[in-house]
Chain A
Amino acid sequence: MNQHLTIEEVHGIADGESQPDAHVRDCVRCSNAILDAVQMKRLVRDAMREEPAPASLRRRIRREPQRMTWLAAAAAVAAIIIGATMLLQRSQSPNAIAELADMHTTILASANPVDVLSTDKHTVKPWFEGRVPFAVPVPDLASTPFHLIGGRVVYWHGNQVAYLLVGKGAHRISVFVSPQHLGGAPPPAVSTLDWQVGALDFVAVGDVPEQDLAQLRDAFNR
């Protein structure tokens, strides 16, 4: 083959995408062109060299995944905090849902909102065994707009309550699961939904439209 290389072919060889053919070995013009392209690559690389990532960033990313979850939740929390003052004033009221809404805010604002961090129901569900005196139903959210973030045990009026943290985009929804009745009238600042399945009472709290909570409830009930 005696045809000179196209510019694309020259760069393709310099970029390591293809091998030089027999023509290149005999053609000064084409081999010089490849050499030139290789030198250009090197100049570009050297000119665009940047400092490595700062150690503080590396540490931040290395830190346990819980913190990373919290940082993403921060955006959602920021929105909730605005309503928090209002919620906190209600916290003296005996209203159970208001208390759970407070707990939702408090948990999201903590550095470690969940003790078991997993999107996998098969990790989260067994984690609760032995930690709460009932089996915690953890739904498969794969086909829903929700994703499981994790869970923990919270104490409410002296009883263990299973807590599941569910995300929808940047929004966070808390689902409290307990054999005790958790219901009551909801506070206006956040959406809440409570439902019962068998012996368990569920309360979902989040800064999302109520129909989202209904959809999440349906995912639990499927």
Chain B
Amino acid sequence: MGVEVLRMSEPQPASFEELALPLLDSLYRYARWLTRDRSEAEDLVQEAYLKGLRGFRSFIAGSNMRAWMFRILRNTFLTSRTGLRAVPPISLDEQPEIAESIADPVTPESNFLRNANAETLRRAIENLPPEFREVLLLCDVEGMRYKEIAEALSIPIGTVTSRLLRARQKVRKAFEEP
């Protein structure tokens, strides 16, 4: 005897809460880095969720929720009073300063791995210009793909890779001093 199963309803599209709530820790962490202030970060995250909720209809199902929410958070920050003060104009020297094509300076004995500890590394990253710091955070801390970072920051992928490279070079450099 065969059993027929009738699908009575369309699968429900995921709600904003289902998609966005798992991102809370990540967004908060990023907001802490942007604002450098706990309560400002909380307000920023809350505002981003609110904007996300309101604009959810414009979110294309199946596209990247994480990149979308990060972009909202970042734009909210940039248009806030703190954001306008905090972000200097993008530096012009976007091009990597070295042209070496071989992996030469990177060796297991590199000064970086020998000298870096969490505290000094953190300081080195904090000292990065914001546009370099943010790509490094999104890539290494949030584990985002280049494409996602490009989407979140509204920049081309090529800019993501060149900023990442530049950020890493700058961090390494901070540990080269004897």
- Within the assembled complex, what's the spacing in Å between the Cα atoms of A37 and B110? 11
Identify which of B50, B98, B118, B165 gathers the most chain A CB atoms within 10 Å of its CB.
B50
- Check: A46 CB closer than 8 A to any chain B CB: yes
| A11-B164, A11-B165, A57-B24 given; A47·B106 CB < 8 A | no
Q: Are A57 and B141 in contact (CB under 8 A)?
A: no
Binary interface encoding of chain B residues 12-44 relative to chain A, with 1 for a CB under 8 A from any of its CBs, else 0: 000001000100110111001100000000100
Binary interface encoding of chain A residues 42-58 relative to chain B, with 1 for a CB under 8 A from any of its CBs, else 0: 01111111101110111
- Within the assembled complex, what's the spacing in Å between the Cα atoms of A41 and B171? 11
- Check: B113 CB closer than 8 A to any chain A CB: yes
- Check: A86 CB closer than 8 A to any chain B CB: no
- Check: B159 CB closer than 8 A to any chain A CB: no
- Within the assembled complex, what's the spacing in Å between the Cα atoms of A33 and B103? 6
Q: Are A46 and B102 in contact (CB under 8 A)?
A: no
Closest to B101 in A: A6
Q: Which residues of A contact B173 (CB under 8 A)?
A: none
| A44-B121, A52-B25 given; A57·B46 CB < 8 A | yes
Q: Are B103 and A10 in contact (CB under 8 A)?
A: yes
- Within the assembled complex, what's the spacing in Å between the Cα atoms of A5 and B106? 11
- Within the assembled complex, what's the spacing in Å between the Cα atoms of A39 and B171? 14
Q: Are A68 and B53 in contact (CB under 8 A)?
A: yes
- Check: A129 CB closer than 8 A to any chain B CB: no
| A48-B137, A48-B140, A61-B46 given; A4·B103 CB < 8 A | yes
| A47-B122, A47-B125, A60-B46 given; A35·B108 CB < 8 A | yes
- Check: B131 CB closer than 8 A to any chain A CB: no
Closest to A61 in B: B49
Identify which of B104, B106, B164, B171 gathers the most chain A CB atoms within 10 Å of its CB.
B106
Q: Which residues of A contact B107 (CB under 8 A)?
A: 29, 32-33, 36
- Check: A217 CB closer than 8 A to any chain B CB: no
Chain A at the B interface: SS class: helix
- Check: A111 CB closer than 8 A to any chain B CB: no
Closest to B16 in A: A65
> B24 is contacted by which of A50, A53, A72 (Cβ under 8 Å)?
A53
Within 8 A of A (CB), among B82-111: 96, 98, 100-108, 110
- Check: B7 CB closer than 8 A to any chain A CB: no
Least Cβ–Cβ distance between B132 and chain A, in angstroms: 12
- Within the assembled complex, what's the spacing in Å between the Cα atoms of A29 and B103? 7
Within 8 A of B (CB), among A5-37: 5-8, 10-12, 15-17, 29-30, 32-33, 35-37
Q: Are B28 and A53 in contact (CB under 8 A)?
A: yes
Closest to A56 in B: B42
Q: Are A48 and B57 in contact (CB under 8 A)?
A: no
Q: Which residues of A contact B108 (CB under 8 A)?
A: 32, 35-36
Q: Which residues of B contact A172 (CB under 8 A)?
A: none
Q: Are A62 and B21 in contact (CB under 8 A)?
A: yes
- Within the assembled complex, what's the spacing in Å between the Cα atoms of A215 and B98? 57
Q: Are A17 and B125 in contact (CB under 8 A)?
A: no
- Within the assembled complex, what's the spacing in Å between the Cα atoms of A41 and B164? 11
Binary interface encoding of chain B residues 156-174 relative to chain A, with 1 for a CB under 8 A from any of its CBs, else 0: 0000010011001001100
Q: Which residues of B contact A95 (CB under 8 A)?
A: none
The 5 tightest CB contacts between A and B, nearest first, are A53-B28, A33-B103, A47-B121, A33-B106, A44-B140
A residues with CB within 8 A of B: 4-8, 10-12, 15-17, 29-30, 32-33, 35-37, 39-41, 43-50, 52-54, 56-58, 60-62, 65, 68-69, 71-72, 119-120, 147
Query: 7 interchain pairs (CB within 8 A)?
Result: A4-B104, A15-B164, A43-B113, A45-B141, A48-B125, A50-B29, A69-B50
